Chains A and B, each alone.
Chain A
């Protein structure tokens, strides 16, 4: 049972464009939603995270949008750069529980 569904599987965006990756979850007890960035041969690195009491969180060019009623959240990368080319994972967990559930990942490629 996949509790966090991520789309698209792969994404190609031109340099300077907006990259958008979407996730949907089923467990309404989830209350922490991080995004991780992974480069080839490396471990995932925490990029940005949000809690369901806010609808949006922005850190530099990265923004999480959160829709609690639809049980969906998305990552927006503004002014996408070639250095943003990586695999991105959304994830979710409940407070007090260390079981972090990941989406299946999106391979993002930024072309010049």
Chain B
């Protein structure tokens, strides 16, 4: 199994540009999440989904949109990139059940100039 696959691995954007970070999982997990990781701040939840067609906001949702049309895919859209969105973005998924933890992808390093 590939697990959680994120593309691209690296991206440079200009301020104001939009883009979509892709996330796909092949484990048939119902729950998926997007986090951003910044130095000294740990990981912060952006958006999450508990199943196809269901999404909700996390701790830092502003400037990001998500959709979940299939169980496998959970793309993250940056509407108008800002330098404050320079970060490493991680997608994660887990199966239903209280004792299952999240499996993380390898991340997308995004720089906004």
A contact set with B: CB distance below 8 Å: 6, 9, 32, 34, 36, 41-46, 49, 51, 89, 95, 98-105
Contacts and interface: CB of A to CB of B under 8 A. Distances in A.
A106 B101 CA distance: 20
Interface of B: 4, 31, 33, 35, 40-45, 48, 50, 56, 58-59, 90, 92, 98-99, 101-107
Contacts of A102: 35, 42-44
A44 B48 contact: no
A19 to B, nearest CB: 19
Contacts of A32: 98-99
B42 A105 contact: yes
A32 B99 CA distance: 8
Given A43-B106, A99-B48, A99-B58, A89 B101 contact: no
